[in-house]
Amino acid sequence: MQRAIGELTDLRERLQGSRTRFRERGEVVAAVYLQSVTRIVGLLTVYFFALMVQSLLERELRRAMESAGLESLPLYPEGRACVRPTARQVLDVFAPLSVHTLLETGSSSRHFHSDLTPLHRQLLKLLRTPTSRLEFQVKQSTRLVNRLHNLMSRVFPELATLQNNLQARWVLRLLEKYPTAECIAKARLTSVTGIPHLPTAKGPQVHQAAAQALSAIGKSGLYSTGRTRRTT
């Protein structure tokens, strides 16, 4: 009994110390009640990997600062110097970066992304992340999304009325399997509703919208590919 009480006291002190270290790192710790040991192990595994990634990020950044002869970085509010940056502070710097979607007349839309500041570039350079390549990937992704919106507004505008975000996983899976409204309309309803990540309620709506788009294309004398139909 005394041994069990001693182990319990030691465990409580260790947990208290862990919570103190979490507060120092800027983490919020709260009680979590799980129903099985498997869930507890899974949650602890996620915490382990998250803390490991944070520790590696901090170590890489501090070593890079030492190699570059930097004593501090302006990571505190008002640009105040920070001698020992933490992963939370680095992530907070990148938090304001965002992508904005502008919905225009009809179903078309445009995307705009935030530009990197000199501090962002400095952090990425210290973390050995090629800034130019990252910016190129972001701009390329934005161009592809805009191109997809423009293309869909011409050949299948009804889809945008059902889903504003054409980057949704089910939309990409749907277009991968059925690239045109004609293909969707001719497919079986069960095949369309079987698209991964497609909400159950939207399956019949997508199928019906494709049929309406195909009917409109037929009346206007256009194929779903956008080419005019030859008439005699």
The pLDDT of residue 111 is above 80:
no
pTM summary value: 0.49
13-29 tens-digit pLDDT: 665 555 555 555 555 55
Percent of the chain with pLDDT over 70: 75
Q: Indicate the pLDDT class of residue 49, thresholds 50, 70 and 90.
A: very high
Residue-level pLDDT at 220: 58
CB atoms within 10 A of CB 185: 21
177-207 tens-digit pLDDT: 888 888 888 888 888 888 988 888 888 888 8
Residue-level pLDDT at 228: 41
Rounded CA gap, 61 and 173, in Å? 38
The residue that leads in pLDDT, 224 or 53, is 53
One CATH from 1.10.3470, 3.10.450, 3.30.450, 1.10.150 for 158-232: 1.10.150
The pLDDT of residue 3 is above 50:
yes
Token duo for residue 192: 């369309």
Q: Where are the domains of the chain?
A: 158-232
**Mean of pLDDT values over 117-130:** 86
For the stretch 123-130, contacts whose Cβ atoms lie closer than 8 Å and that sit 24 or more positions apart, written own/partner, are 123/61, 123/73, 123/90, 123/93, 123/94, 126/60, 126/61, 126/64, 126/65, 126/68, 126/70, 127/57, 127/60, 127/61, 127/64, 128/60, 128/64
